[in-house]
Amino acid sequence: MNAIGSPISRVDGPAKVTGAATYAADFAIANLAHAALVQASVPAGRIAAIDTRAAEAAPGVLAVMTHENTRRLPWHPRDPRPGVDPKSGERLHPLEDDLVRYDGQPVAMVVATSEVEARAAAELVRVSYAPTAARTRFDPAYGHEPSAATAKAGRPGDTARGDPEDAFTRSEVTVDVPFVQPREQHVAMEPHATIAAWDDEGGLTLYDKSQWVDNVRTEIGLAFGIDEKRIRVISPFVGGAFGSGLRTWPHVAMAALAAERVGRPVRLALTRRALFTNTGYRPRTESRIRLGADRDGTLSSIVHEAIGQTSTYEEYAETTLTPTRQLYACENVATHYRLVDMNVNTPSPMRGPGAATGQLFLETAMDELAQALGMDPLDLRLKNLAERDPDSGKPWSSKALRACYEQAAERFGWADRPRDDAARTVGHERIGSGMASAFYPAHRSKARASVTLYANGGAMVQAATSDMGPGTYTALSQVAADALGLPLEQVRVEIGDTALPQAPAHGGSITMATLGNAVANACSRLREDLGVENGGDLVAALGGRDSHRAEGSSSPGKEAQDYESAAFGAIFAEVRVDPELGTVRVARLVGGYDVGRVVNPKLARSQCIGGMVQGIGMALTEEALFDERLGRVMNANLAEYLAPVCADVGALEAFFVESDDRIFNPLGVKGLAEIALCGVAAAIVNAVHDATGLRLHRVPVTPERIVMAQAARGG
């Protein structure tokens, strides 16, 4: 019996297609009150005065909370900080002081008996500000090195191997490529929402949108100075997050403060506009990359500088330059990473954090190098394939990137792509083809899980992990079904609740490599407890007991010191560009992936095509428009922040090359959420060049930018 590897339909599918799945704002809680935020309308300054009288008199209002009347929480520091938090600076303590750090910051909160009343009263709160000078322009001149703590966390300011500057000047062929990736927003379909309910004994229950319920519990425990055992966080379904649910955002504490104030459960659902400034985003990052090569295409030098934005109160940094150090075999590599502090809310991980950005820069520059060399872009990648990790010198625990390149090229028809004018022209449109590599480091973390076998032959898997969409429910069911020798239908999975065994963040593509092994381990323990070998009758071994529960765990071993592990891929894009109107449509994408063992090919494919769709957005439509004068995101809605729609998406093909990484972990999986985005935008941008001859060193590639680039080129 092999559930693992089978294209099983999602076990939570029926709940999701009938509306029965409960997301954070869906929980029916008796006597629920509702909170609404008042947000700052200046990017920096002090609150001079807040007039709450009209709001307090409005119908249904239970409380109007400001820094003048809200109690100071202790906000005990976390040591060590969780991996998802910035390593330097201090998180926002909402309603604690009169300081405005960015436009959109919460400055007051209204609690009322209905949401419409709370929001109406929030409109009536009058705040006057004493503005101060704000840094709202992304100015590379202000770039500073990351702090020591940030550098230690894998985001160093300067790194070098070999002598890249000297090698660059001696290189036979060079390119020097600037690039801008704007601020991008997660815009998961489910807005963040929290329901906070205190019980009579001072215990707190939070229904929250979260990728990491244990993290929410710890943070709120420290913020309020209460034992985290008295807090329960429930989050069974997460309506997409892509990183926005990794941290515990200030509104979670605000919901708990509101519930405490009014003595009733309170729901705080962020509006779509508020999400842009009260959760995170992918930071604007500017890049300059210099590549040098021998005539035969062998990379001789890489010098990559990147500057990302962060806030004035926290130092958020990304692993933007990690792919530059690890993707290609090159002896001379330097990376320089800087940060610009701005009066903005703090960025956060967003799918493929750092790596997706870095590969947009690296893989578009590689395309320019291939052009300068007169070499096929695929051949350039193959020429520089890194058989060992070029940075550490360690072997890869597994790597099937060559197979990804070759099989994806074959399926795409790369060798036969249209090249001459006649073959490329269809009506008003020109066909362009492009490709890129994809790479994302694989990690695993510590986790526990339990499995309970019942006398009726059913089993229950439990862990405090999440499922924001990839299929954790289904995949853990498959692991347990195989490990216990049970039909899949007899396995149930419970996740998203701090009452369950501790789990790490559901992010960074680590969930299956971490939880999958913990569940397998729990199943082994259960077999040992019952003294049943593989193939034996577990239920009979219960011997009349109703059930038996076993707990297992998983943590990284020595392999993490001896090997480097990563997922790999190759992406090929065909675009149709209308050069006159500047429109770009993605006709098809083909991605081949080495992600280790694939637990469920049906769901894994869905995740990969989902990454492709977000890559289309990154390449062609998505940009948070930031007005430097006001310090404000102007398109903070879903009508003008343009996530791709169905009509933007052509034929998408994702497949997996044969791969199984038992060195990395017993289950053999490497993770695929992040790599599904990596390289996609670069492949599309490269295809636009192929179609038009234009190098646009900026995404999104819009009609306006295409026609302006044509004008600059003189035609």
Partner 1 sequence: MQPFAYHKVRDAETAIAHGARDPQTIFLAGGTDLVQLLEDGISRPQGVVDISALPFDAIATTIDGLRIGALAKLADVADHAEIRARYPAIAAALGETASPMVRNMATMGGNLLQRTRCLYFRDGVSPCNKRAPGSGCSARLGHDAQAALFGASEACVATHPSDLAVALLALDAEVLVVGPSGERSIPLDRLHRLPGETPWIESDLEPGEVITAIFVPREAAGRAQAYAKLRHRASFEWPLVSAAVSLALVEGTIEDARIALGAVAHKPWRAETAERLLIGRRIDDALAREAGEAATDGARPIAENAAKIPLMARIVTRALQDCARQQAGDPS
Partner 2 sequence: MSETTTGGAARPSASSSASDALPGAAHEVRLVVNGEVHTLAVDPRATLLDTLRDRLGLTGAKKGCAHGSCGACTILVDGRRAVSCLMLAAACDGREITTIEGLATNGALHPVQQAFVDQDAFQCGYCTPGQIMSVAGLLAEGRARDDAAVRDELSGNICRCGAYPNILAAVRQVSGIEPTPAEIGADARLRDAAGGA
Catalytic residues: 674
Stretches 128-136, 370-378, 574-582, 599-607: which one binds partner 1 (CB under 8 A)? 574-582
Q: How many residues bind partner 1 (CB under 8 A)?
A: 40
| Nearest Cα to Cα of residue 597 among 411, 463, 450, 397 | 397
Q: Applying CB under 8 A, which of residues 6, 113, 371, 555 lies at the interface with partner 2?
A: 113
User: From partner 2, partner 1, none, which one binds at residue 148 (CB under 5 to 8 Å depending on kind)?
Assistant: none
Distance in Å, CB of 536 to partner 2, minimum? 34
Q: Check binding of 41 to partner 1 (CB under 8 A).
A: yes
Q: Check binding of 625 to partner 1 (CB under 8 A).
A: yes
Q: Check binding of 426 to partner 1 (CB under 8 A).
A: no
The per-residue DSSP string of 194-242 comes to EEEEE-TTS-EEEEE--S-HHHHHHHHHHHHT--GGGEEEE-S-----T
Paired with 583 in beta bridges are 578
Q: Applying CB under 8 A, which of residues 1, 116, 423, 625 lies at the interface with partner 2?
A: 116
HSE-up of 121 (CA within 13 Å, CB side)?
A: 29
Query: How many residues can be counted in the chain?
Result: 715
**Dist. CA 304–CA 325, nearest whole Å:** 9
Q: Applying CB under 8 A, which of residues 51, 158, 580, 658 lies at the interface with partner 1?
A: 580
The long-range contacts involving 258-262, CB below 8 angstroms and separated by at least 24 positions, are: 258/33, 258/35, 258/63, 258/65, 258/109, 258/111, 258/196, 259/33, 259/196, 259/197, 259/198, 260/198, 261/62, 261/63, 261/65, 261/70, 261/111, 262/33, 262/62, 262/63, 262/111
Footprint of partner 2 on residues 561-600 (CB under 8 A)?
587-588
Distance in Å, CB of 679 to partner 2, minimum? 15
| Nearest Cα to Cα of residue 83 among 318, 275, 285 | 318
Q: Applying CB under 8 A, which of residues 75, 165, 655, 708 lies at the interface with partner 2?
A: 655
Q: Check binding of 148 to partner 1 (CB under 8 A).
A: no
User: From partner 1, partner 2, none, which one binds at residue 708 (CB under 5 to 8 Å depending on kind)?
Assistant: partner 1
User: From partner 1, partner 2, none, which one binds at residue 632 (CB under 5 to 8 Å depending on kind)?
Assistant: partner 1
Q: Applying CB under 8 A, which of residues 6, 15, 524, 698 lies at the interface with partner 2?
A: 15
Q: Applying CB under 8 A, which of residues 5, 14, 59, 202 lies at the interface with partner 1?
A: 59
Stretches 118-126, 189-197, 460-468, 473-481: which one binds partner 1 (CB under 8 A)? 118-126
Q: For residues 466 and 472, is the Cβ–Cβ distance under 8 A?
A: yes
For partner 2, give the closer residue by CB, 82 or 413. 413
Tokens of 31: 């006597």
Task: Name the DSSP class of 147.
Answer: P
From residue 35, give the alpha-carbon distance in Å to each of 56, 93, 188.
13, 17, 21
Q: Check binding of 51 to partner 1 (CB under 8 A).
A: no
Q: Applying CB under 8 A, which of residues 114, 392, 425, 456 lies at the interface with partner 2?
A: 114
| Nearest Cα to Cα of residue 350 among 622, 81, 156 | 622
User: From partner 2, partner 1, none, which one binds at residue 190 (CB under 5 to 8 Å depending on kind)?
Assistant: partner 2
Non-local CB neighbours of 665 within 8 Å, separated by 6+ positions: 444, 513, 516, 517, 554, 559
Footprint of partner 2 on residues 246-275 (CB under 8 A)?
269, 271-272
The per-residue DSSP string of 64-79 comes to EEETTTSPPP--PPPS
Tokens of 262: 């009014």
Q: For residues 566 and 648, is the Cβ–Cβ distance under 8 A?
A: no
For partner 1, give the closer residue by CB, 468 or 616. 616
For partner 1, give the closer residue by CB, 90 or 640. 640
| Nearest Cα to Cα of residue 32 among 113, 123, 117 | 113
Stretches 89-97, 536-544, 677-685, 705-713: which one binds partner 1 (CB under 8 A)? 705-713
Footprint of partner 1 on residues 238-277 (CB under 8 A)?
273
Strand-pair category, 299-311 with 33-39: unpaired
**Dist. CA 452–CA 458, nearest whole Å:** 8
Tokens 């929030």 identify what position?
A: 122
Q: For residues 304 and 321, is the Cβ–Cβ distance under 8 A?
A: yes
For partner 1, give the closer residue by CB, 120 or 362. 120
Q: Check binding of 651 to partner 1 (CB under 8 A).
A: no
Residue 109 C-alpha from the chain's centroid: 29
The three-point CA angle 2-671-304 to 5° equals 160
Footprint of partner 2 on residues 614-653 (CB under 8 A)?
614, 637-639, 643-647, 649-653
Cβ neighbourhood burial of 244 (10 Å; 0-12, 13-18, 19+): buried
For partner 2, give the closer residue by CB, 42 or 652. 652
Q: For residues 364 and 536, is the Cβ–Cβ distance under 8 A?
A: no
Stretches 377-385, 465-473, 534-542, 696-704: which one binds partner 2 (CB under 8 A)? 465-473
Q: Check binding of 56 to partner 1 (CB under 8 A).
A: no
Footprint of partner 2 on residues 169-198 (CB under 8 A)?
186-191
User: From partner 2, partner 1, none, which one binds at residue 128 (CB under 5 to 8 Å depending on kind)?
Assistant: none
Q: Check binding of 133 to partner 1 (CB under 8 A).
A: no
SS3 category, 583: strand
Q: Check binding of 18 to partner 2 (CB under 8 A).
A: yes
Q: Applying CB under 8 A, which of residues 78, 93, 119, 170 lies at the interface with partner 1?
A: 119
The per-residue DSSP string of 254-314 comes to HHHHHHHHHTS-EEEE--HHHHHHHS--BPPEEEEEEEEE-TTS-EEEEEEEEEEEEESSE
For partner 2, give the closer residue by CB, 298 or 637. 637
Q: Applying CB under 8 A, which of residues 55, 73, 95, 120 lies at the interface with partner 1?
A: 120
**Dist. CA 227–CA 202, nearest whole Å:** 10
Stretches 24-32, 478-486, 502-510, 623-631: which one binds partner 1 (CB under 8 A)? 623-631
Stretches 148-156, 157-165, 230-238, 622-630: which one binds partner 1 (CB under 8 A)? 622-630
Footprint of partner 2 on residues 53-72 (CB under 8 A)?
59-60
Q: Applying CB under 8 A, which of residues 358, 644, 668, 679 lies at the interface with partner 1?
A: 644
Q: Applying CB under 8 A, which of residues 1, 5, 17, 394 lies at the interface with partner 2?
A: 17
Q: Check binding of 620 to partner 1 (CB under 8 A).
A: yes
Stretches 6-14, 72-80, 402-410, 576-584: which one binds partner 1 (CB under 8 A)? 576-584
From residue 176, give the alpha-carbon distance in Å to each of 35, 77, 287, 619.
51, 44, 10, 21
Distance in Å, CB of 307 to partner 2, minimum? 28
Positive or negative CA dihedral for 604, 609, 613, 615?
A: positive
Non-local CB neighbours of 248 within 8 Å, separated by 6+ positions: 210, 215, 216, 219, 220
Q: Check binding of 408 to partner 2 (CB under 8 A).
A: no
Q: Applying CB under 8 A, which of residues 40, 120, 196, 464 lies at the interface with partner 2?
A: 120
**Dist. CA 243–CA 354, nearest whole Å:** 12
Contact residues toward partner 1 (CB under 8 A) are 41, 59, 116, 119-120, 123, 273, 428, 580-583, 585, 620-621, 625, 627, 629-630, 632, 634-637, 639-640, 642, 644-648, 700, 702-705, 707-708, 711
